[in-house]
Structure 1
Amino acid sequence: MKTLIVDDKQLAARQLADVVSNIDEQTTVEIALSADEALEKLEDESFDVVFLDIEMPQVDGFECALRIKEKWPVTNIVFVTGHPAYALEAHGLFPSGFLLKPATEADVREVLAHLRNPVAREDRGMRVQCFGNFEVFIDGKPARFERSKTKELLAYLIDRRGAFCTMGELVAVLWDDGRDTTSRRTQVRTFIHDLRTTLSQAGAEDVLVRARGAAAIKRDAVNCDYYDFLKADLAAVNQYHGEYMAQYSWAEITTAWLSSATYL
């Protein structure tokens, strides 16, 4: 996401930029200290969201918003002001949000979760989707697994959130018939080898962690909607509609927990 902060007061602009950066470390944040500077930046590059101070000299936020909406209609405009009285006039311009100074991180998260024009996330590297069916995307395209159980193995490790899983546990999950045989443990090792190869091709070889007779994933290295949900990311919370790794019966316990979880 690319964000532009427009405020003639540099300190206020920096403070809001820090809040936005804390919410999404991958976002690009730029600052303009006047409406004219903001419009020049928009001529040179596109922005997903513009946080626009209303009270500025020469060209105020309302006039700047009108110019932005005329030339870049899909750009999200969020008005920022220290005066609640501006809310009604701002509403008439149909912005994506309205923030009162000083805006808290919770306020900004709420606005970003309900933007009028959805922001497409950049699909670079590996992304894991748990809501609905379990899927893995590499550079925006579905990952190809040599075996379906290799994909299920990864799904289970994701579900375990970084906890080490023994060979016996993985055999029980992948076959679900109570038979723990030497041949099946050998197959699990083959699946782990396949998984390591797939992750390496995605540039995500550090995601898989091995120990003697066990495997896990490095949770902090995974871009995943489920993990974003656990961090109370509002966009991820809004993406959950009651289905989690729907193709796997062992995921029903986590599904039940997700459906009962509430974030205020």
Structure 2
Amino acid sequence: MKTILVDDEMLSLEHFKYQCEDIDAVEIVGCFEFPLDALAYAQEHRIDCAVLDITMPEMDGLELGRRLKQIHPDLVLVYVTGYGEFAQEAMALRAATYLMKPYSKDDVVFAMHRARLLCRGGEPRLKVKTFGRFDVFCGNQPITFRNAKARELFALCVDHNGGTVTMEEAVDKLWEDRPFNEQTKALYRKAVMSLRKQLEEAEASDVFVTGRGVCHILPEKLSCDYFDLLAGSVEMRAAYMGEFMAEYSWAENTAANLTRLVRRRMRPDF
């Protein structure tokens, strides 16, 4: 993914470039302190992604993004700034994401991974909503799960953000009033089979990975408000109102952790 960086502070350019050095498939082809230089480069070269500071004296990053997309309509934009009030306008330009300074290595990895997904032809096939109740969408259509426990197992995997869910934990969470025995193991396997079939029908079977007595999801295959909040999304921070998969009692601990995370990130010194 051929990427340019534009920031009127050279140290910021060098820092972001350094953070991208070991991210697969990201090729930094230009670093520019002046927006007009970036535009001139874009006129003569193919670029897939532009990482733009918003507050610059010559031309702000929002205007630069508009002009770059006139040259390359499929260009993916990533915005970086220290000012949260520009988030809505940045998202109106269909930016891949919006990084607040100071950002972490994980923030950069998430932003560039999301940009690569968009460069490959659009958003992930599945969109997961966790704020409030748990819902899964394929395109714009909600998925209606035929097996309620398959739905809850998928929710538990999302809660683990790519981490392994063991059969023992799944039984403890999904069948909390029943012992861990051959009957509940069979119920777990039935839920796994139902979830696999449902995802195959949605042409998203690669999202869910199973092994002997374990399962997990691949977060990079999903668009998810929870994952975006963890990655530092200002938009998702504003959207989170304290409820996370509210229908599942086992999700209460994650909801409390997210509330603390949001409060900490809202502090001026964060």
Query: Could you tell me the TM-score, scaled by structure 2's length?
Result: 0.56
Letter in 1 for 2:216: I
SS in 1 for 2:124: coil
Alpha-carbon distance between aligned partners in 1 of 2:236 and 2:25, rounded to the nearest angstrom: 16
Report the equivalent of 2:214.
215
Q: CA deviation at 1:231?
A: 4.0
In structure 2, what is the equivalent of residue 199 of structure 1? Answer: 199
Secondary structure in structure 2 of the residue aligned to 1:115: helix
Cα distance in structure 1, aligned partners of 2:26 and 2:88 = 18
1:126 matched to 2:126? The reply is yes
Deviations 1:90-149 (A, max 9, x none): xxxxxxxxxxxxxxxxx9354478424151455332233222221223335433422222
User: Residue 247 of structure 1 aligns with which residue?
Assistant: 247
For 2:28 and 2:155, how far apart are their aligned partners in 1?
Answer: 34
Matched, 1:177 2:177: yes
SS at match of 2:89: coil
CA distance in 1, matches of 2:149, 2:26: 35
Match of 1:149 in 2: 149
Cα distance in structure 2, aligned partners of 1:38 and 1:241: 39
The 1:127/1:110 distance shift into structure 2, 3 A limit, reads: farther
- Residue 82 of structure 1 corresponds to which residue in structure 2? none
Q: Could you say which residue in structure 1 is the equivalent of 2:229?
A: 229
1:150 Cα deviation after fit: 0.9
- How far 1:49 moved relative to its partner? 8.0
Q: How many residues of Structure 1 are paired with residues of Structure 2 in the alignment?
A: 219
Aligned to 1:166: 167
Q: How many angstroms does 1:230 deviate by?
A: 3.5
CA deviations 1:41-67 (Å, max 9, x no partner) are: 69xx9x99854785xxxxxx54x56xx
Distance 1:186 1:113 in 2: 52
In structure 2, relative to structure 1, the CA distance for the partners of 1:124 and 1:140 (3 Å cut) is farther
Equivalent-residue separation in structure 1 for 2:87 and 2:149 (angstroms): 38
Shift of the alpha carbon at 1:235? 4.2
Q: Aligned AA for 1:164?
A: V
Give the match's secondary structure for 2:136.
Answer: strand
Question: Residues 247 and 114 of structure 1: is their aligned pair in 2 closer, same or farther, counting only changes over 3 Å?
Answer: farther
Match of 1:108 in 2: 80
> Mean alpha-carbon deviation: is it higher for 127-136 or for 176-185?
176-185
Answer yes or no: is the 8 Å Cα contact 1:196–1:205 preserved in 2: no
Give the C-alpha shift of residue 191 in structure 1. Answer: 1.2
Shift of 1:155: 0.7
Q: Is the 8 A contact 2:126 2:137 kept in 1?
A: yes
Counterpart of 1:146 in structure 2: which amino acid? R
**Percentage of matched positions with identical amino acids:** 23
Range moving further from structure 2, 179-188 or 191-200: 179-188
5 Å-filtered alignment, 1:60-139, equals: 62=58, 68=63, 108=80, 110-111=82-83, 114-119=86-91, 120=94, 123-139=123-139
- Computed over aligned residues only, the root mean square deviation of the Cα atoms, in angstroms, reads 4.8
Unaligned runs of 5+ in 2: 70-78, 97-121
The residue type equivalent to 1:124 in the other structure is P
Counterpart position of 1:96: none
Whole-Å separation in 1 of the counterparts to 2:38 and 2:87 = 20
What 5-or-longer segments of structure 1 have no aligned partner?
A: 55-60, 76-106
Question: Structure 1's 193 and 19: CA in aligned 2 closer, same or farther, altered over 3 A?
Answer: same
Deviations 1:181-235 (CA, angstroms, capped at 9, x unpaired): 6444323212101212233443342532322xx2221455453333343344444
Q: Is the 8 A contact 2:7 2:52 kept in 1?
A: no
Structure 1 residue 257 displacement after superposition: 2.2
Judged with a 3 Å threshold, the aligned counterparts in structure 2 of structure 1 residues 126 and 19 are, in CA distance, closer, same or farther, namely farther
Instruction: Report the Cα distance in structure 1 between the residues aligned to 2:123 and 2:217, rounded to whole angstroms.
Output: 20
